[in-house]
Each structure stands twice: as C-alpha cells, then as structure tokens.
C-alpha cells in the first residue's frame, strides 16, 4: 500500500518537472518512472510470493528516496556526468535508473535468500581481512582520478569506477557485530583503572585502537574525511550499545579529537575542509564557493521551495552553478526546489529508516543480530546526517553520498545491501540462532525449512 | 519486546535500553538538522538571496529592468540605457551624486545605494510582508522598485561645486526627520565612465591608484580631527552631567596670561586680544571658542560622562545608515582614564584634539540633534520605495534616542547663535550668517601634526525652527572661519531658498 504512495509522488513530481521544462502541463516521457515503479512492485511481489514476513515500511521508504533521486537526476543538466558505453550515451536519469534497478535486485536477492547468518557471524575475521584488502586495492591499482590532492576513493575496472569504502562500511559493521557480540560481557564488566576512567583489560582495547587507526588512516591515505567520521561514529555507537559504558564513547571522542587536531595541523586537505566550514566567506570564490552556494540554494528555496525544475541550475545563463550537485549537494538542490518542507520530509524518511532499523534490532533473536541491525541502520542514518549537516554547514563538508539519493553505483549498491540485510533480519520466520552452548562459538544447525 | 541480553548476575547489560538511548540521540540529531534547515531557509533566506554573489541576484540584474532613482524634487538621478553593444547600462546624469548612488555594473558589481538597495532595485526583495512567499507563485517573479531620495540634487551639486578642487565633504540633514539633504565627498569618481564595459576596468584601476582616494566616501567613512566643532559634544556632556551650568565661569585670572597648565602641558587660547576683563560663561566661551574654558569643563565633567555623551550621539560604533559607515572615536587608547591616557588627553579632547576622529556624517548628526531639541533622528537617504506593481514603502522619520534635555539643547543653540551673530562670534563663525534668518553654528580649525589645519563648520538654520543642519570640512584648507564657515552659510541659505 505504501508503495502506491511512492508511485503517486514519483509521477506527480515527474509531471511537474516535465511541465516546468516544457512550459505547459504535460506528463512528459513516463518510461523512466514507469520502469522504476514496475521494478519496485516486482520486488514487493517477490517478497509476498516467497512468503517472507518482513518489515513493510523499509521498502517503500527506500523506494521513495530512490524516486526523489530519479526526479533530481532527470532534472539536472544532462551534460554534467554520464556514461558512454560503446556509442550508447546514457544521461544521468537513465543511468541512475540502471543503478537503482541493480541495487533493488541486490536488495531483493539478499532479503529473500538470506535465511541464516552463519556465513556472516562465523567468518568475521575473514570479512575484516577482506575489507582491509579492499582498502589496499585502491593503492595498488592506478587511481581513477588524476588529481593528486583530491580524495583517492575510486577503483577503476574497465569503464566502471567503484568506491571500495562504500562496501567497506558494510563489511565493517558485520565484523564489529560479530566481535562485540562475542566479547561484550567482558568489555562491559571487567576494568582496569586509569585515573578516573575504568577501562577493560588492555588486550580488549586493541580493536578499539585499531578502529581509531583505520579511521585516521582513511583520512590520511584516502583523504576521505567523511568515511572516517562515519566509521568512527558507527563504531563508538555500537560499542556503547554492546557495553552501555559511556566512558568508551568519551574516550573514543577524546581520541578522535586528539587525532583530528594533529591531522588538522599536519594535512592541508583536512585544514581546508575545517577552515571553509568555520568561515566559507573568507574565500567566497575559491574553497568556500561550494559551501556558500549550497547555502544560497537553501535560501532561495525558503519554506515552500522554488518547485521542481525551477531551481538553481536553470537560473539565467549560469548552468551547473553548484558543482557536484548530483553527488555531494543533492540535498541542497532538493532543499532549494522542494523548500524547507520537502527537505524536512527527506529527513523524516531517514528518521523512519532509523526507527524501523532500531525496532528490528530490539526484536532480534540474539546479540549478534541486534548489533548487526543497529550497525546497518546507523551506517545509513549517520551517513545521511553527515552529508545533510555538511550541506547545511552544521558540520564540515565531506564527500560522502546521501544514501539512495546521490548519483553513483557503489553507494547505491552498498546501501541496497544494507536494506536487504535489514529486511532479512526483520523476518520473524528466519531461522532462530542456536543459543550459546558450552563452546564460545555459536553453532547453527543445518538449514531447516522455514 | 526483546528476548536478548537478559542480563543476569555477571551477564552483559540489556541491549534494548541502550537502543532506546541511541534512538533518542538520533532524534536529537534530526532535530538539530531541522533547526539548521529552519535557520537557513527561514531566518537567513532573505539575506542569502540578496547577497551579491548569489546567482539569483546576478540573474535578476540581467533579466529585470532595474528600478530608477529620483531625487527629492523628482529629478532622475539614475536610469537604464543601452550601451553601444546593446547591453543594458546604468546612466548617472549628475556627477555630484556619485558618493550617494555609487554605481552598478555587471562587470564591476555595485557600490553606494546601488549596492545597499540592490535587492529592491532588481526586485528580488519584494516590498511588504508576505511578498516573498507570493513571489514563487508568480510567472514574473521580479518586481523592481524605484528609489525616491531625500537628497536634493541642486544642493548636492552646489556643495560639490563649492568644494571645487579641494578635498573635503559636506553633509546636510533635515533635523526633525533625519532626511539627508546632501552628502558630498570630494574628489569623487565618474560613475558613467566606471560602468562603461570597454574602459571601466582601466578607469577603476586608475581610481584605486589615485592618492587623493576618490573611491573613499569621506562623508561616511573618512575620519578627521574635528577641532573646535567637537566642543558641542563636550558642552552636551558637561551640561547633561550637571558638572556645569551655562553660568559657570572659567578661567582664573592668571590663566589669561600664562595659559592653562595641566600636568606640564599648557593650553592657550588663540586670538584672546578681547574679552580680557572677566571670566567667561558658557555662551561667551562658545562664542570666542575658548579652549581653556572647555578643557576645564571636560576635566570637571570627567572622562566617563564625556564618553557616554559621545556614544549617545553615535560615537564608538558604525552608524545605522543606508550606506556603510566608519565609527567615530573619542579616544583610541586603552589608557587608565576610561581609555584616555591621562588628563592632558582628556583636556585636549574637550576642544576636539587629542585622539578624536570623526566622520562628517557624525558631526552633521551632532548639529541636527541640537537643532531637534536634543532628539537624535536616524539619518536616511531613501524616503520612499515604489515598485512597478504599485507597492509602496515609505521610510518615515525614526527616532534613535534622546541625547540631551530640551533645555540643554536650547542653551547650546543660544551659544551657537552667539558664535555666529555675537559681537565677537562674528570673527569666528560670522561668515555662516544666513541673511534674514537666525543662524546657529560653530567653527573649527583642527590642528594637524604638520601643515595647515582642517577647516570645519557645523551649524543649522533657522535657529528657531531648524530646517537644515550641516557639517562642512575642507581638508588642510586653513582656519574654519576662512573656508568652511562661509561655505556652510552659503549652502544653508541656498537650501532655504530652493526649499520654499
């Protein structure tokens, strides 16, 4: 039922956009929204047919965010990005539709096929190793971008560039959920006193230090402040959920601040990011340009917005005024065209994801699943908050994407995996995990019919 | 609700309650984002949409016919024209208006009123409440406004002509309303040459390199030593604090000959060949501009009272005005005596020396405030905005604050009348006399470290029902009575003629 609402939103938006561009009332070419809605309903149908009893809200919310993305991509100047495959030129919207379709397929397959979580919880160290290997690949393979000062995020394989840190965030949550579920009693109960703080035994602190190192490493070698912030925030929150010890959070934040201060002193790209956050008007035509123009976009939008298609890139003869509008500044563009009400609605969509995700975690059958659901939810919600906050100059601007809305394949795929897993975890019919036995390993029985 | 983490003795704590806290933290996070949205999209929306760097503003400047600007008598002082290449150009028929209007050019941006009212002139900022909401529903979102100024271009042009080749400034204000009648800064620039796309860049460079600083608006942003015109501020503080009354007399007999010695520094009155038979009261001291008398008065009043009075006039912070202004100062130091280094600096400040620096606009406001029975009005250049769709916004008189009592204002007015019309005063500010009208004024000769003094005059007329208050400074032109005083008198009488 909620999917129908998504359809209404998408088609209304599409017609509004087409009318704005054509200067008259029209529906325009509806093939793109039609294909998208068909895929969404197909996914839903597959869920029903396979008899899964999963969360009924997550798919429509994800679908709605995806349809906003389609609207925005169709509305942006098509020359600004795109892919040409053997003479076939694809604009932003068809390309994004392609990625959305792949993402929804991945989501559906995961949600339907994942019936037990052995393969996740048993091999957590393998997953962690795979993640670090993925990170290292970026340095072995030639960078996709030739800009030596910019972030080194991409892997280029043939015509397709991917960002491994997108996949890494999923892997990391799987590892953390496994590690914390196993050791949380120890982490929560035992302590060594260091001054006023009581800490767990030193060996168990090592993973925390390792995470800290990974986060700082990402900032230093990948120049990706956003991913580092995201990883560390998710890590600290999960640690808190597992142990309920606020001291860890304080300690972690102190460590991060200390690290950040050192990085600020040592690395110019970090310094620039922070400085333009504090005062973008110091260099309005240079480094502060993006931030200022994002704020201009919000200002022009006001409460009601300019309307789809009537916003910034269409202003006068200054097309593409906001650089990276389809990736870093989608929220500013939507804030302009949909106004504060639309922008708040988008925030509300992420709030719904948060609520559903935490509910799934609370109902989970055991610690691993609870922590996994929490972590997956946090990845999406915190990522959204970081980039929205960056657009609004509430936190330093980072290059991470707005989940399901920003243009880009790897981001869509990674977030689809997250929602797919969340859906699978939400199914009451999924196999119950075996209660912890004498051994420290959880062992699940072989698959039995659901 | 949750089957996990049933923490028995020694078991791990429950995950459910931690999740609740995480949920609350996320709710706070979303709330923060909502607040951020509200701040930028509601509170700051208008300011952001009027910033010169905003493409919306640039687009409006290209697409909408910019509003015109008229002077108080309805004369067009800025309008739109087509250049040789067919591009829209701004035209300014009166060169003397440059310090008021500034310029608007697609290449070099905006300055002056063209900058301050850019959003209204382009129509981006609609007049009246709720206009911004409605704008988005209209097919033609721009509603440019014309500006109607309080400045009279005849007075403005006459003042600029009177300054001629001299550097200086004239500011005239209607005391009861704060309407600025003239705001002249000399030398200035040729706005028509500046907005010419072909030669404007070269001209702008030459203006920037010019050592006579034609791009500086002396009236609002030039800071000058005021000399004796500052005695009006000292008098306001001294009378207002109760430290003196108009009958208070200084100095003692021996100071006639030796000067007033204070901590090793000697203050002398120049040209004291007359009035040696008795100590001076406030009126006589103003009439002959006695430095010794005002130094005594300031020392008896104290640094705090002097600073407080000056602040009520507007000293110490940028003035609330249609153009950007620089703050005037009483002292630059952070000395032990409320900022003053010592009593010598305070005594010097009494007659406008020391570390005092003022803008001509600030001194015109001092004169206008005395003329308006001690009530300071907000000065403004724009009387009325009128949009093409017929919306009107009137800028009425707005009271800033009461600086002094009406009785004190009357006493100071009487002293200033005596300074123009008195037996001895005519040697000082007598040149400002407007024929047939009681005239109030005060001359000033601001001593500089080297060279000739700045020539100053502030005054108003008619003294009973003031219609114009004026401040004149001619830089390094000599004593006040030589240059600024007659210039101020001529301009006041011209205005009273044309205004009738």
Domain-embedded: residue A103? no
Q: Round to whole Å and give the CA distance between A349 and A331.
A: 13
Q: Which residues of A touch B10 (CB under 8 A)?
A: 185, 189
Mutate to test the interface with A, among B8, B11, B12, B124 (most CBs of A within 10 A): B12
A342 and chain B: CB distance < 8 Å anywhere?
Answer: no
B8 and chain A: CB distance < 8 Å anywhere?
Answer: no
Predicted local confidence at residue A448, as pLDDT: 47
**Consecutive 10-residue averages of pLDDT for chain A (450 residues):** 68 65 61 82 83 80 85 66 50 80 86 75 74 67 47 50 72 82 72 60 67 67 75 84 80 82 80 77 69 78 70 43 65 82 88 90 83 90 89 81 82 88 77 50 46
**Smallest Cα distance from B66 to chain A, Å:** 16
Q: Round to whole Å and give the CA distance between B217 and A327.
A: 45
Is the Cα torsion angle B42, B46, B51, B55 positive or negative in sign? positive
- Structure token digits, residue B411: 């006493």
Cis peptide upstream of residue B187 (ω within 30 degrees of 0): yes
Most confident of A39-48, A431-440, B104-113, B405-414: B405-414
Predicted local confidence at residue A220, as pLDDT: 64
Q: How many CB pairs under 8 A join A and B?
A: 162
The answer on pLDDT for B166 being more than 90 is yes
**Smallest Cα distance from B27 to chain A, Å:** 8
Domain-embedded: residue B146? no
Query: What domain range is A182 assigned to?
Result: 116-426
Q: Report the mean per-residue pLDDT for chain B.
A: 87
- Among the partner-chain residues B14, B21, B33, the one whose CB lies closest to the CB of A347 is B33
Query: What does R_g of chain A's alpha carbons equal in angstroms?
Result: 22
Q: Which residues of B touch A371 (CB under 8 A)?
A: 15
Q: Which residues of B touch A396 (CB under 8 A)?
A: none
Domain-embedded: residue B175? no
A34 and chain B: CB distance < 8 Å anywhere?
Answer: no
CB spacing of A298 vs B41 below 8 angstroms: yes
Predicted local confidence at residue A223, as pLDDT: 67
Q: Round to whole Å and give the CA distance between B33 and B419.
A: 64
Domain-embedded: residue A283? yes
> Could you tell me which residue, A302 or B387, shows the higher pLDDT?
B387
The answer on pLDDT for B139 being more than 70 is no
Domain-embedded: residue B430? yes
CB spacing of B45 vs A299 below 8 angstroms: yes
B5 and chain A: CB distance < 8 Å anywhere?
Answer: yes
Q: What is the DSSP string of A368-412?
A: HHHHHHHHHHHHHHHHHHHHHHHHTTSS-------TTTSS-HHHH
Lowest average pLDDT, out of A196-200, B51-55, B157-161, goes to A196-200
- Structure token digits, residue B368: 């206008």
The edge-to-edge listing of strands for the beta sheet with B180-186 is: B180-186, B168-173, B468-474, B454-461, B440-446
A190 and chain B: CB distance < 8 Å anywhere?
Answer: no
| Total domains in the fold of chain A | 1
* ipTM exceeding 0.85, yes/no: no
> Could you tell me which chain A residue has the CA closest to the CA of B34?
A344
Residue A142: closest CA among A129, A131, A157 = A157
CATH of residue B334: 3.40.710.10
Counting residues of chain B whose pLDDT is more than 70, the rounded percentage is 88
The answer to whether residues B220 and B267 touch, using CB atoms and an 8 Å cutoff, is no
Q: For residue B448, what are the CA distances in angstroms to A242, B227, B475?
A: 76, 9, 10
Domain-embedded: residue A190? yes
Lowest average pLDDT, out of A127-141, A342-356, B194-208, B209-223, goes to A127-141
Domain-embedded: residue B179? no
pLDDT in tens, B435-490: 999 999 999 999 998 899 999 999 999 999 999 999 999 999 988 888 999 999 99
Does residue A85 sit in helix, strand or coil?
A: strand
- Among the partner-chain residues B2, B19, B48, the one whose CB lies closest to the CB of A296 is B48
Domain-embedded: residue B249? yes
CB spacing of B133 vs A284 below 8 angstroms: no
CB spacing of B53 vs A284 below 8 angstroms: yes
Predicted local confidence at residue B161, as pLDDT: 96
- Among the partner-chain residues A302, A371, A385, the one whose CB lies closest to the CB of B33 is A385
| DSSP-assigned letter for residue A450 | -
CB spacing of B2 vs A362 below 8 angstroms: yes
CB spacing of B48 vs A237 below 8 angstroms: no
> Could you tell me which chain B residue has the CA closest to the CA of A373?
B19
Note if B228 is an active site residue: yes
Catalytic entry in B50, B185, B228, B289: B228
Predicted local confidence at residue A442, as pLDDT: 44
Confidence of residue B274 (pLDDT cuts 50, 70, 90): low
**Smallest Cα distance from A294 to chain B, Å:** 10
Query: What domain range is B461 assigned to?
Result: 227-382+397-498
Element at A27 (helix H, strand E)? none
Q: Round to whole Å and give the CA distance between A379 and A167.
A: 11
> Strands B145-149 and B69-70: what pairing?
parallel
Q: How far is CA B404 from the centre of its chain?
A: 19
Interface of B with A in 56-115 (CB under 8 A): 56, 58-59, 62-63
Domain-embedded: residue B275? yes
The answer to whether residues A27 and A33 touch, using CB atoms and an 8 Å cutoff, is no
- Give helix then strand counts, H and E, for chain A: 15, 6
Helical axes A31-49 vs A58-75, angle rounded to 10°: 170
> Could you tell me which chain B residue has the CA closest to the CA of A355?
B23
Residue A97: closest CA among A125, A126, A73 = A73
Lowest average pLDDT, out of A227-231, B225-229, B233-237, goes to A227-231
What is the average pLDDT across B201-205? 89
Domain-embedded: residue B23? no
| Total domains in the fold of chain B | 1
B306 phi/psi in degrees, rounded to 5: -65, -45
> Could you tell me which chain B residue has the CA closest to the CA of A336?
B41
Predicted local confidence at residue A18, as pLDDT: 62
Domain-embedded: residue A25? no
CB-CB neighbours of B494 under 10 Å? 18
Q: Round to whole Å and give the CA distance between A77 and B243.
A: 73
The answer to whether residues A399 and A151 touch, using CB atoms and an 8 Å cutoff, is yes
Predicted local confidence at residue B358, as pLDDT: 97
């Amino acid at each position: 039922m909620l999917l129908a609402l998504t359809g209404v939103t998408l088609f209304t938006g599409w017609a509004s956009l087409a009318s704005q561009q054509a200067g008259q009332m029209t529906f325009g070419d509806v093939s793109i929204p039609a294909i998208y809605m068909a895929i969404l309903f197909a996914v839903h149908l597959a869920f029903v047919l396979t008899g899964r009893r999963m969360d009924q809200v997550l798919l429509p919310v994800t679908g709605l965010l995806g349809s906003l993305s389609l609207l925005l991509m169709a509305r942006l100047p098509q020359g600004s990005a795109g892919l040409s495959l053997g003479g076939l030129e694809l604009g932003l919207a068809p390309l994004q539709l392609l990625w959305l379709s792949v993402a929804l397929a991945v989501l559906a397959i995961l949600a339907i096929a994942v019936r037990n979580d052995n393969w996740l919880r048993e091999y957590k160290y393998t997953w962690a190793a795979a993640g670090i290997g993925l990170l290292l690949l970026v340095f072995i393979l030639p960078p996709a971008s030739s800009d030596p000062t910019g972030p080194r995020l991409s892997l280029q394989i043939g015509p397709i560039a991917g960002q491994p840190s997108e996949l890494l965030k999923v892997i990391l949550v799987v590892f953390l959920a496994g590690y914390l579920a196993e050791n949380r009693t120890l982490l929560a109960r035992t302590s060594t006193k260091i001054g006023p703080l009581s800490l767990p035994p030193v060996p168990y602190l090592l993973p925390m230090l390792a995470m800290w190192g990974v986060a700082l490493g990402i900032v230093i070698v990948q120049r990706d402040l956003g991913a580092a912030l995201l990883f560390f925030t998710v890590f600290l929150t999960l640690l808190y959920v597992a142990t309920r010890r606020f001291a860890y959070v304080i300690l972690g934040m102190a460590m991060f601040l200390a690290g950040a201060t050192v990085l600020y002193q040592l690395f110019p790209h970090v310094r620039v990011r922070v400085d333009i956050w504090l005062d973008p008007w110091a260099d309005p035509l240079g480094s502060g340009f993006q931030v200022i123009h994002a704020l201009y976009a919000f200002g022009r939008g006001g409460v009601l917005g300019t309307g789809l298609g009537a916003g910034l890139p269409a202003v006068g003869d200054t097309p593409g005024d906001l650089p990276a509008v389809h990736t870093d500044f989608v929220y500013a563009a939507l804030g302009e065209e949909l106004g504060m009400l639309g922008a708040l609605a988008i925030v509300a969509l992420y709030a719904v994801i948060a609520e559903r995700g935490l509910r799934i975690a609370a109902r989970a059958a055991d610690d691993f699943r609870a922590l996994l659901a929490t972590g997956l939810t946090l990845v999406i919600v915190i990522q959204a908050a970081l980039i929205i906050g960056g657009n609004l100059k509430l936190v330093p601007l980072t290059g991470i994407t707005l989940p399901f809305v920003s243009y880009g394949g790897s981001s869509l795929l990674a977030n689809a995996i997250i929602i797919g897993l969340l859906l699978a975890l939400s199914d009451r019919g999924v196999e119950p995990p075996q209660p912890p036995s004498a051994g420290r390993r959880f062992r699940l029985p072989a698959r039995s019919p659901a | 609700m949750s089957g996990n983490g049933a923490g028995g003795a020694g078991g791990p704590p429950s995950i459910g309650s931690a999740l609740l806290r995480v949920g609350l933290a996320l709710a706070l996070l979303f709330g923060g984002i909502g607040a951020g949205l509200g701040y930028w999209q509601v509170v700051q929306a208008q300011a952001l949409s009027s910033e010169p760097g905003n493409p919306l503003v640039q687009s409006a400047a290209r697409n909408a016919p910019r509003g015109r600007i008229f002077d108080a008598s309805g004369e067009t002082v800025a309008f739109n024209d087509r250049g040789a290449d067919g591009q829209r150009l701004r035209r300014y028929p009166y060169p003397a208006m440059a310090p008021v209007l500034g310029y608007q050019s697609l290449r070099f941006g905006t300055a002056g009123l063209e900058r301050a009212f850019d959003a209204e002139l382009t129509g981006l900022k609609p007049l009246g409440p709720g206009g911004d909401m409605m704008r988005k529903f209209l097919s033609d979102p721009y509603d440019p406004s014309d500006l109607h100024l309080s400045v009279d271009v005849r007075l403005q042009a006459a003042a600029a002509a009177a300054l001629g080749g001299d550097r200086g400034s004239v500011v005239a204000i209607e005391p009861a309303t704060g309407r600025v009648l003239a705001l002249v800064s000399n030398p200035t620039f040729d706005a028509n040459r500046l907005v010419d796309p072909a030669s404007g860049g070269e001209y702008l460079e030459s203006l920037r390199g010019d050592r006579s600083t034609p791009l500086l608006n002396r009236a609002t942003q030039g800071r000058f030593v005021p000399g004796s015109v500052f005695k009006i501020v000292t008098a306001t503080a001294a009378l207002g604090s109760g430290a003196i009354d108009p009958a208070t007399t200084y100095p003692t007999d021996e100071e006639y000959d030796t000067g007033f010695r204070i901590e090793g520094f000697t203050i002398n009155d120049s040209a004291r060949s007359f009035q040696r038979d008795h100590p001076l009261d406030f009126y006589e001291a103003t009439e002959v501009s006695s430095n010794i008398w005002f130094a005594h008065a300031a020392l008896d009043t104290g640094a705090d009272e002097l600073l407080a009075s000056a602040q009520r006039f507007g000293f110490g912070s940028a003035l609330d005005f249609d153009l950007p202004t620089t703050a005037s100062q009483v002292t630059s130091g952070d000395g032990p005596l409320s900022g003053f280094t010592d009593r010598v600096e305070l005594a010097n400040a009494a007659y406008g020396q020391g570390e005092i620096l003022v803008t001509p606009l600030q001194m015109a406001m001092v004169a206008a405030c005395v003329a308006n029975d001690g009530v300071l009005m907000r000065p403004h250049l724009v009387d009325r905005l009128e949009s093409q769709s017929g919306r009107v916004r009137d800028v009425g008189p707005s009271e800033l604050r009461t600086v002094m009592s009406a009785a004190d204002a009357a006493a100071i007015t009487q002293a200033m009348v005596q300074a123009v019309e008195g037996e001895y005063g005519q040697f000082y500010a007598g040149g400002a006399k407007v024929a047939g009208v009681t005239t109030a004024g005060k001359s000033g000769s601001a001593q500089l470290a080297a060279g000739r003094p700045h020539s100053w005059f502030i005054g108003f007329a008619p003294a009973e029902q003031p219609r114009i208050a004026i401040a004149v400074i001619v830089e390094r032109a000599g004593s006040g009575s030589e240059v600024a005083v007659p210039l101020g008198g001529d301009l006041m009488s011209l205005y009273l003629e044309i205004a009738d």
